[in-house]
Amino acid sequence: MTLFRFTSARFDQASKDWKANKIRMGQMYYYKCEAHLKSGEPCTKKASSDQKYQFLPKHYCAQHGLAALRLEAQNIGAASD
């Protein structure tokens, strides 16, 4: 039986992977918005966790989440025509 060895290198890599989709603000971590700007750069805003935006797709800021919902509504409307 091979035991799993948790070395400092593995811990560092696991920490780096966990932080890859998060933004640090003070002592807290928040999910990053998953949208990309027109320039192709990733959005630098934190994903919305506000209760008034709970209907947004997960891991989107309010701006990009609302845009995604509008696009989805347009696609549904076009499909039903």
Which DSSP category does 1 fall into?
-
Burial 44-58 (b: 16+ CB within 10 A, else e): ebbbbeeeeeeebee
- Is pTM, for the whole model, over 0.75? no
Cα–Cα distance between 67 and 34 in angstroms, integer? 13
Domain that holds residue 75: 20-80
- Domain membership of residue 74 (yes or no) is yes
Query: Which pLDDT value is given to residue 16?
Result: 93
Query: In tens digits, what is the pLDDT along the chain, a chain of 81 residues?
Result: 566 777 888 889 989 999 988 888 899 988 888 888 888 888 888 887 666 666 666 777 777 777 777 777 676 666 665
- Domain membership of residue 7 (yes or no) is no
How many domains in the chain? Answer: 1
- Domain membership of residue 13 (yes or no) is no
DSSP string for residues in 14-76:
HHHHHHTTEEEETTEEEEBP--B-TTSPBP-SBPP--GGGTTSPTT--HHHHHHHHHHHHHHH
- Domain membership of residue 15 (yes or no) is no
